[in-house]
Amino acid sequence: MPANIHKEFTEFTPKGQEFIKLWNNEWNDGAQIRLAKHFGMSVPTVYRIRKKLGLPNLMETPARKKWEKHVVKNYLNKEWSTLRLAEIYKMSSQNINMVLRKHNVELRPQNVVNCAYYKTRQLDYSPAKLLYEIKRLYVDEKMTVVGVAKKLGIDPSAVSNKLKAMHIEIVRQNHNYIKGGYPCEWCGNIMEKVWQNKGKRKQKFCDGACKNKAKDLRRMLKGQRRSETRLERMLGELKDNWPNQFDEAQDRLMDVKPIMKLEPTPIDQQKLDLKEEWMKKWKRNSTVQTVDTKLN
């Protein structure tokens, strides 16, 4: 730092007093950058002047202490959330949590907001009316979560979240709970509880690993995958699991009808032509904008 600048920033000079006043009024990050722009100097010079004047760091300034008390007051008395405080003070919620922990404030549990205040895409019902309609359609009319979502025009996840918030049990619609000692189709272990698909594939497996092994073996036997070593190893594993019923186990694994996939609908040629024209116009406009920005 040059000697003339060093002499300008003291406790008795106008610039030094202005520096002290501005620093004591800072409470947010980026204080040194703002002071550097204000006085037309570098950030290291601001740091050295602050040290020479004996000023505290940013976390100990009077404005910072006053702001921290204000945050604690709003969190406890007004019951504002950390997200709302972060939006007001334009910082992250982690900084708000750090301030509250510094003052030994016990944080409230997360997700305590009532489900009636969750935003949805529909505009026909009020929050309370929407909860009533979801409960009526799901409980009284016995509709599925997807059906309720389609009728009300919202996401299925929003319906399930609101049902959980209202303490309504959600029944799994795509599976059927089976009681009894059923053996796994692959490993042969007896399962006390089984979740069986209601669709075309009605096989029973103890976990996803056995299900994937059966799927791989089925594909290799059909010729969809080729790996002789893996095929021999998996057939040997299946034979070890079912020594007396190897042929029957193999027939059960192969006796599965594939799920038919719908073919995509063809796109109209007129729409394709309009899309190509739009892409050409967009590329031409984008190139002009990039050239203008480079020239500026």
pLDDT surpasses 90 at 21: yes
CA neighbor of 62 nearest in space, from 97, 37, 31, 33: 31
100 Cβ contact partners less than 8 Å away, ≥ 6 residues apart? 71, 72, 75, 82, 107
Tokens (6 digits) for 2 = 């040059």
Give the mean pLDDT of the chain: 78
CA dist., res. 17 & res. 5, Å (int) = 14
Can you name the residues that pair with 124 across neighbouring β-strands? none
Give me the percent of the chain exceeding a pLDDT of 70: 74
Give the pLDDT score at 257: 59
Dihedral sign, Cα of residue 68, residue 70, residue 73, residue 76: negative
- Spell out where the chain has E strands: 175-183, 190-197
CA angle (59, 61, 62) in 5-degree steps: 130
For residue 186, with 0-12 CB atoms within 10 Å meaning exposed, 13-18 middle and 19 or more buried, which class applies? buried
Q: Are 194 and 178 in contact (CB under 8 A)?
A: yes
175-183 and 190-197: which strand pairing?
Answer: antiparallel
Q: Using one digit for the tens of pLDDT, what is the confidence trace for 69-117?
A: 999 999 988 878 888 888 888 888 889 999 999 999 988 776 545 555 5
Q: Using one digit for the tens of pLDDT, what is the confidence trace for 222-261?
A: 877 777 888 888 888 888 888 888 888 888 877 765 544 4
Q: Using one digit for the tens of pLDDT, what is the confidence trace for 119-151?
A: 677 767 877 788 889 989 999 988 888 889 888
CA dist., res. 16 & res. 8, Å (int) = 7
Q: Using one digit for the tens of pLDDT, what is the confidence trace for 25-68?
A: 998 888 999 999 999 989 999 999 999 899 999 999 999 999 99
- Spell out where 45-98 has E strands: none
Q: Look up the pTM and report it.
A: 0.40
Work out the pLDDT band at 205, boundaries 50, 70, 90.
Answer: confident
As a dihedral over the C-alpha atoms of residue 245, residue 247, residue 248, residue 254, rounded to 10 degrees, the angle is 140
